[in-house]
Each structure stands twice: as structure tokens, then as C-alpha cells.
Amino acid sequence: MRVNVKVNGVNYERDVEPRTLLAYFLREDCGLTGAHIGCDTSSCGCCVVVLDGERAVKSCTMFAAQADGHDVLTVEGLAQGGALHPLQQGFWDQHGLQCGFCTPGMLLTSYALLKQIATPSEADIREGLAGNLCRCTGYQNIVKAVQQASGQLPAAVAAAS
């Protein structure tokens, strides 16, 4: 079937099998490898992308066909004009990653969280990221990174959408 998905503002029109999962569509059909496939069973959150600018979804548990006609934001769409997104800057400044495998999912889950709650408490952040696993650092610096970015999202959202 033919699908047309707008990823990071660019239309990708492709032929896919209905059973193609969104994560594989992004990586193999669009060449956007930022959505990482970790557990591939909806547990780890490494493949999280943002759907229609507001909803964090695990792209291993959604079909590309479902995204037909929708907007998807991946980690490749966060930085604008060479400037890191405030969340990326937060992860950079606070050393919120080691190997980086979970980072795209952490960033996009946090993005959706900050759209819901502009200035979340530490508890809100820890709860909001409970579906994303990091196996290197522990979560302390990830939480600090999101705290650094909190309150800075509205302008960045306008730029990204």
C-alpha cells in the first residue's frame, strides 16, 4: 500500500506492506536511523517518536500505515538551523548520556512531556520517563537535562513545527 508520512516536515511517500512497523519504515524506507530498535517489544522506549506534535509513541508498536497522513517528529528533526534543541543542549550540558542508544527515545518522550507540562517537577519527569530504559548512566543526569530544558520548549516547538 502507498503511504505518505510527513517526517520532520518532509513528506515521505513510499510503498509498504501493511505489516511494516513505523520504526522500520523510518529507518529503512526513510533512512532516518534516529529511532533506535532496542527491545522491539514496546518495553524499552528507544524507538519513541512524537506523533502529530504532541503524543509520544513507541514506533515499534505502531504500523507505518497508521501514520499515513500524519506528522512524525524524530530526533533528526529536533535541532534547527545547526542549533541544538533545548532538550539536546540539556543532555549535552548535564552529561545525560553515555552510549547514546536510549537518547533519541528519552529526548522525544521528554519533548511530549514538556508539551503537556511546561515546567514539570522532578517527580513528573521521573514518572514521565518511566517507560524509557537507560542501561548506562542511571537516570540522575537525564532528569537534570530535562529540568534544564523545562520552560524553554514553547519557542522551540514553534520553530520545529
Partner 1 sequence: MFPAAFNYLRAHTPDEAFAFLQQHGAEARVLAGGQSLIPAMRFRLARPGVLVDINAVRDFTYLRHDGQVLAIGPIARDSEIERAPWIGERRWSLLHDVSRVVADPVVRQMGTIVGSLCHNDPSGDWTAVALASRAEVEVRGTGGTRTVKIDDFLVDSFTTAVGEGEMATGVRFPVPGDATAGSYQKLERKVGDYATAAAAVQVSLNGDGTIREAGVALSAAGPCAVRVDDAERALVGQRPTNDTIRAAAEAAERKSAPQADLRGSVEYKKHLAGVLVARGLRQAFARLGVPS
Assess 63 for contact with partner 1 (CB under 8 A).
Answer: yes
CA distance 116 to 11: 26
The residue within the footprint of partner 1, chosen from 33, 66, 98, 137 (CB under 8 A), is: 66
Q: How many C-beta atoms surround the C-beta of residue 64 within 10 A?
A: 26
Nearest residue (CB) to partner 1, 98 versus 126 = 126
Determine, following the binding rule CB under 8 A, whether residue 61 of this chain makes contact with partner 1. Answer: yes
Nearer to partner 1, 93 or 131 (CB): 131
Cα–Cα distance for residue pair 46/55, rounded to 1 Å: 15
Taking each helix axis as running N to C, give the angle between helix 140-149 and helix 86-93, from 0 to 180 degrees, rounded to the nearest 10: 140
Is residue 57 within the footprint of partner 1 (CB under 8 A)?
Answer: yes
- Which one among 65, 78, 87, 156 touches partner 1, defined by CB under 8 A? 65
Shortest CA distance to 111 belongs to which of 66, 149, 71? 149
Residue 2: strand pairing partners: 15
* Helix boundaries (H) for 5-152: 22-24, 86-93, 103-116, 122-128, 140-149
Q: List the interface residues with partner 1, window 3-42 (CB under 8 A).
A: 17-19, 21, 40-42
Window 121-150: residues binding partner 1 (CB under 8 A) = 127-132
Catalog residues that contact partner 1 under the rule CB under 8 A: 1, 17-19, 21, 40-43, 45, 48, 55-58, 61-63, 65-66, 68, 109, 112-113, 116, 127-132
